[in-house]
Amino acid sequence: MKLGWLILAVAVSGASVALAGCRGEGSTTGCPSAEPAGPPVDEALMAFLSAARALHHEADVRQSANDTAGAIASLERLVALPAPTAVEVDEVIADARARLAELRLGRGDVDGADRDVLAGLQRVKGPTYFRGHLLEVEGLLEEARAGALADAGKSDEATRARAKAVDLLEEAVKVQERVIDRALAEGGKDGDR
């Protein structure tokens, strides 16, 4: 009888802790539902997405006029927008961070680009194209850093940067492969919206 109660108590504790941990990881692996439940799509989310869309297009216009600084300013406004807590917001901001990083890299601001990539990676922890893309940009960034170091005659540091670039690009490929595998397993649901 006592043993039964003990097993029950341990089972309840274990299940509760596992569920709490599962939700806290930011990854849905091993959780009861692969699709985390979120709030209903509402006006606040839509307003953020509309503003983000406008600012991306504004950046396009400025970029096409060779105004890289203006494009960066538009995207900086985007990542600073007030936003509701939603997965879509995280993914859109992560994508904007990747674009910002590329623009900064084009201007030689490697450290600034690095900051954007790291901030973007904080937003998307699970295996998505957004994370894969950020890792890819970070890999390109390290490649550029390696080139600059080699030009400066710092061959050891350049070698390390090259190795890091390869690691990051490999990690990006792995993330993308996981996304593709999952998409194939799920049959591409929601893809026709």
- Give the interface with another protein as residue ranges (CB under 8 A): 2, 5-6, 9-10, 12-13, 16-17, 19-20, 23-24, 35-43, 45-46, 49-50, 52-53, 56-57, 59-60, 85-88, 91-92, 95-96, 98-99, 102, 126, 128-130, 132-133, 136-137, 140, 176, 179-180, 183, 186, 188-191, 193
**Residue 70 to residue 38: CA distance in whole angstroms:** 35
Residue with tokens 């390869």: 166
**Residue 49 to residue 95: CA distance in whole angstroms:** 12
Q: Which is nearer to another protein, 69 or 180 (CB)?
A: 180
Write down the least CB distance from residue 158 to another protein, Å.
Answer: 22
**Residue 5 to residue 25: CA distance in whole angstroms:** 30
Q: Which is nearer to another protein, 160 or 178 (CB)?
A: 178
Q: Which is nearer to another protein, 34 or 163 (CB)?
A: 34
Name the residue type at position 187: G
Q: Which is nearer to another protein, 8 or 152 (CB)?
A: 8
Closest CA relative to residue 55, chosen from 41, 76, 69, 86: 76
Residues contacting residue 158 through CB under 8 Å, at least 6 positions apart: 146, 147, 149, 150
Residue with tokens 């799509």: 41
**Residue 18 to residue 12: CA distance in whole angstroms:** 10
Write down the least CB distance from residue 112 to another protein, Å.
Answer: 17
Residue with tokens 């299940």: 15
Q: Which is nearer to another protein, 23 or 69 (CB)?
A: 23
Q: Which is nearer to another protein, 153 or 188 (CB)?
A: 188
Residue with tokens 């089972």: 11
